[in-house]
Structure 1
């Protein structure tokens, strides 16, 4: 029996919306302007009515779904709708009226999946397939389900300038970038993923706008403040005068993705750069609004937060997150990366050779829980051992940790194979939620360098800025070496990142894929059913340099054990503890790059 078809639309107080009688209502917050015009399909602008609070509105039958429109400011500047649902001609072009009720959804029976079942797969739509579109990604969903993935984590799709971008330079957060397809193509991807049992999560950026095409500066300069600073310039005004519409803009964006696109969750980028001194931080209000709006299915809200604020990940008496479900655990990445590679440049120096940090990050989530971090020059983090391990997402690679390298090289290219498999065996069976970066499961050789497609006025600055960024590293002290760094603006740089799926059939890649399928099958069979019984972080002890033993208490008396020697030395024999569910490396004892997972059942 086929599922009933349903429609989904999020009601917004701004933008273009189809009314019950078929008319179109347009509404814009532009408090800096006494008057605003509305241009529809290139016709002469219609005057909008000014309302209290800096709003301008117009209801008209001159537009319909498919119409293209712009707002016209008093100085003649024609700007896209900051709440545009589609930009067919990119960020500098007109917005298109979209009727969300026109899409008939076929996933009415989807009720989501619990977070404990999450196995994440981060992907970039533009490089995941040769075509680089939402529609093309659908064909790969059966492969991901067979791999053992249960959720795809899509890098930002908010409309960005040009034809290629990581997504963190978006300027129209309600409009999926047209280079990937139309809004209904993204909806088709979501419902297809649900048909394969896959959750869909989206990366969103609420801390800044990109440097090109952010017309909100002209429309509503009150949306920004010079009282706070971010790495990307003026901060968004979340806590000053006129902050209410700014907060509403981003809260509605979160609701829009969850309700109108039926997403299962969001990953909020760099929330440490969302600066808000108001009594209720934007992060709290946003989470509360989302959870109140969707009470009938799990919605997973994930943070990237350099401050390691454990308080944002607390659970209630029922074990549920009132605010945020989990955080990307950079500390877990860093301790495993330095173990596998020996690298010690930049922030890696604070983890190199620190086996206690390795143990804390694996057992308790954060390696830095208030200790001084030399790279930053001040203490970092909060105690996290009381949190459930599923409050953390563990990974060996992601877009940042690959792409912020000069050449975008992957871990399989810089770590010995034995070390790579050992750290992967730790990350993928850890009680934290695991995440793979696209192609990691078959040791893809394609790099993931930084790429973008700005206009000529920014191109040189981006190109030179990228090279200057690496000038402080000893290996790039020679200008000739810096010249080898791929040009972010060049189309071949983008093309080099596209996965070559034909490689999967080659013997070495097929072996890697088989290994990942096997270990994820063990996770589904042995770890996931026990996660609800792991109520807090594990206890740990150091066995030797680079070697740790960690034990997590299971509900009703059982134990999950990890013994890991992430070094090239051999450790003394250790007694076996419980039933071994996975062994990597030496067949007995703790030889170099040996990992042993075991379960001790309750009596």
Structure 2
């Protein structure tokens, strides 16, 4: 593996510091005293300091006027504005030394936010909940972004120092301990990363390396220019650092449709290829997935192992939106695109992955959205009923449990958790948590005011309807409201829901997962509220579904062929919200 070009490199005699600052006329390394750095003809400044070791703290001074952190800082003990700390990643004493990951078809994902997953809100505290995840049937813990952000509270999508796990949750060795303990229990750990923008506070790249950005803008800030070799290397080396230094089992790339200047070869292809080389060299399963509103099926291949330019799967927003419309009747925003026939849209998602495979989307400005996806493996589609976006981008941050019939939710879970697509739950969903997950951050001054103003403009109807009930995203109590209440598990409804999820995932582990490699989409149909579907599994057997997705009993249910693996053993009439799975 080629040595990284960004970030401090510990050598036999000390540490070598580097900074790419093509727009700077002078750069000094600030340790115990300033050290002038030497510039080369490509804008790299460097200095080798004898006796500078792990634990040393440093910053860079630009043109005698601005002190900045290293954009590739490995740790910021005092947040984004403080000094960087040199970290010796090789020194960590890993215990799960034989861990090589798990193949993608075994993935059952739970998405979690470290700061609100436990009352302590730390990496170490998550360790105490790993046994709960394993017992529930989860095989992959996906953490929301950890890259250092300004302040103590954030969803993580405002990260500005991509290589530094945020100190609000603990130190790098704490994060490594979490991943190590997960591996000892057979759990994969994945990380959400953001390569489409930098956060709005604590990012100084525009001052000394404006080449990082184009004149274009994403919804969250200036677009990154991946035509520039150094910029591309910065992102790819960051991905490799998370996978190599922390031993994450995979990455989820946020909103890749907003990466504007992709370069040649396209950035996503180059990133996947680099990760594939790491996987081949280490013999590990490394699973790379995307969030992509463009529904580009051509980016996906669940079977490409190691990756050679493709991605295992994509968060399937279409699947969520269809179910949300069916469960709640809501029609605002992007839900308007699924109003004509949600049940037929569900049929398409069940039989070929995406709903939008080239059709015109009103919400997306009347443009055609998506590519044909039926030839892909079903495991390419990461299906969910809730995630951080779909809860947190609601004005009140309320979960499905607060707005939908519990029996309907249980039917939707019985469909999602046994279908051959890759299922994902949001933290606490496995027991039906009602804890909200509102948007929150910890900015100051004018930026805080701008965030408040932006939320009020985006959700003007909600402020008109709910007034002060809409949580202030800057208030500490807003973040506190999102903390999971693990005492819920003492109560009968939560225990009942958790038992349902455990039972479903035990059946998935026994009957579905061993047959997923090589599985193919089949057909699906709906008549009234009755949904039927089947898939051809990797061993040639047929997995079949019959589900009454309505509040009324249905008549004339066709008899199921094969062995019943879930649901009521009956023929003829089918109760409301009943779900049956069989293998023939």
TM category, shorter: over 0.9
Tell whether 2:155 aligns with 1:166: yes
Tell whether 2:361 aligns with 1:373: yes
Task: Report 1:499-514 matches (<5 A).
Answer: 499-514=484-499
* Residue 164 of structure 1: how far off its partner (Å): 0.6
Q: Which residue of 1 aligns with 2:338?
A: 351
- Distance of 1:32 and 1:146 partners within structure 2: 54
Tell whether 2:313 aligns with 1:311: no
* Residue 342 of structure 1: how far off its partner (Å): 1.6
Q: Which residue of 2 aligns with 1:292?
A: 277
Q: 1:367-410: CA deviations, max 9, x gaps?
A: 01001112221111100000000011111110000000111111
Q: Which residue of 1 aligns with 2:168?
A: 179
Q: Which runs of 5+ in 1 are unaligned?
A: 1-8
- Distance of 1:247 and 1:431 partners within structure 2: 35
- Pick the aligned partner of 1:515 from 492, 496, 500: 500
Q: Report the RMSD for the aligned CA atoms in angstroms.
A: 1.8
8 A contact 1:340–1:419 mirrored in 2? yes
- Distance of 1:382 and 1:433 partners within structure 2: 19
Q: 1:219-253: CA deviations, max 9, x gaps?
A: 31111110x321123211112xxx10000000000
- Pick the aligned partner of 1:454 from 439, 443, 450: 443
Mark the CA change 1:277 to 1:326 in structure 2 (over 3 Å): closer, same or farther: closer
- Distance of 1:233 and 1:126 partners within structure 2: 24
Q: Which residue of 2 aligns with 1:138?
A: 127
* Residue 436 of structure 1: how far off its partner (Å): 0.8
Mark the CA change 1:59 to 1:555 in structure 2 (over 3 Å): closer, same or farther: closer
- Distance of 1:287 and 1:98 partners within structure 2: 26
- Secondary structure of 2:9's counterpart equals strand
Calculate the TM-score normalised by the size of structure 2: 0.96
Tell whether 2:138 aligns with 1:149: yes
Shifted more, 341-350 versus 90-99: the winner is 341-350
- Pick the aligned partner of 1:553 from 523, 536, 539: 536
* Residue 141 of structure 1: how far off its partner (Å): 0.7
Q: Which residue of 2 aligns with 1:109?
A: 98
Q: Which residue of 2 aligns with 1:326?
A: 313
Q: 1:14-69: CA deviations, max 9, x gaps?
A: 211111x231100000000121000004x2x1100001211000001252211110
Mark the CA change 1:523 to 1:482 in structure 2 (over 3 Å): closer, same or farther: same
8 A contact 2:7–2:17 mirrored in 1? yes
- Distance of 1:319 and 1:529 partners within structure 2: 20
8 A contact 1:364–1:385 mirrored in 2? yes
8 A contact 2:561–2:583 mirrored in 1? yes
Q: Which runs of 5+ in 2 are unaligned?
A: none
8 A contact 1:159–1:172 mirrored in 2? yes
Tell whether 2:510 aligns with 1:525: yes
Mark the CA change 1:359 to 1:415 in structure 2 (over 3 Å): closer, same or farther: same
8 A contact 1:40–1:62 mirrored in 2? no
Q: Which residue of 1 aligns with 2:28?
A: 37
Q: Which residue of 2 aligns with 1:4?
A: none
- Secondary structure of 2:42's counterpart equals helix
Q: Which residue of 2 aligns with 1:364?
A: 352
Mark the CA change 1:263 to 1:315 in structure 2 (over 3 Å): closer, same or farther: closer
- Pick the aligned partner of 1:256 from 222, 226, 241: 241
Q: 1:188-234: CA deviations, max 9, x gaps?
A: 111000000000100000000111111212231111110x3211232
Q: Which residue of 2 aligns with 1:14?
A: 6
Calculate the TM-score normalised by the size of structure 1: 0.93
Mark the CA change 1:554 to 1:15 in structure 2 (over 3 Å): closer, same or farther: closer
* Residue 482 of structure 1: how far off its partner (Å): 3.7
- Pick the aligned partner of 2:324 from 337, 342, 346: 337
- Pick the aligned partner of 1:494 from 479, 482, 500: 479
Mark the CA change 1:345 to 1:459 in structure 2 (over 3 Å): closer, same or farther: same
- Distance of 1:527 and 1:440 partners within structure 2: 21
- Pick the aligned partner of 1:302 from 278, 289, 294: 289
Shifted more, 216-225 versus 519-528: the winner is 216-225
Tell whether 2:78 aligns with 1:83: no
Tell whether 2:60 aligns with 1:68: no
Aligned residues: 579
Shifted more, 229-238 versus 253-262: the winner is 229-238
- Secondary structure of 2:182's counterpart equals helix
* Residue 142 of structure 1: how far off its partner (Å): 0.9
- Distance of 1:321 and 1:518 partners within structure 2: 36
Runs of 4 or more off by more than 3 Å in structure 1? 314-322, 475-478, 584-591
- Pick the aligned partner of 2:252 from 254, 257, 267: 267
8 A contact 2:440–2:474 mirrored in 1? yes
